[in-house]
């Protein structure tokens, strides 16, 4: 039961972050608003593109690690990549976002990613 749960959660997280990355590339302004720091009406194209590329790459890297290197490599990846939503928590708080978005989205995501890492290490 642990193995399907560990793999399932990792795949779900990888696909979700891949989706978020694609969303930032396709519909950047709504994606930025959902992130917790809306984009300025007169710009921010670099922020939106970088965010989309970063998240898309993390999703693809996670899927590739799981498929070709296994659970242990994916666990280390998840452990390290948890720093990203922790950093996003700070970004939202320092740039006028709500505490609900910072903690309810980004900090909670970091916790789930760390749980995923622990499950993968246990497999």
pLDDT digit string (tens) for 4-46?
A: 999 999 999 999 999 999 999 999 999 999 999 988 887 678 8
Cα–Cα distance measured from residue 89 to residue 78, given in angstroms and rounded to the nearest whole number: 17
pTM comes to 0.93
- Please identify which residue in the block is written with the tokens 């242990």: 72
**Structure tokens belonging to residue 92:** 């939202």
**How many domains, the chain?**
1
**Structure tokens belonging to residue 40:** 């300025």
For residue 13, the enclosing domain spans: 2-122
Residue in 25, 115, 117 with CA at minimum distance from that of residue 62:
117
């Amino acid at each position: 039961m642990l193995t399907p749960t560990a793999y399932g959660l990792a795949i779900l997280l990888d696909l979700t972050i891949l989706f978020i990355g694609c969303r930032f590339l396709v519909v950047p302004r709504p994606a930025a608003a959902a992130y917790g720091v809306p984009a300025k009406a007169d710009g921010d194209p670099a922020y939106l593109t970088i965010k989309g590329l970063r998240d898309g790459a993390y999703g693809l890297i996670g899927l590739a690690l799981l498929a070709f290197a296994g659970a242990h490599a994916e666990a280390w990846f998840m452990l390290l990549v948890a720093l990203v939503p922790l950093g996003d928590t700070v970004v939202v708080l320092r740039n006028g976002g709500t505490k609900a978005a910072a903690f309810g989205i980004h900090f909670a995501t970091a916790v789930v990613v760390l749980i995923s890492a622990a499950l993968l290490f246990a497999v």
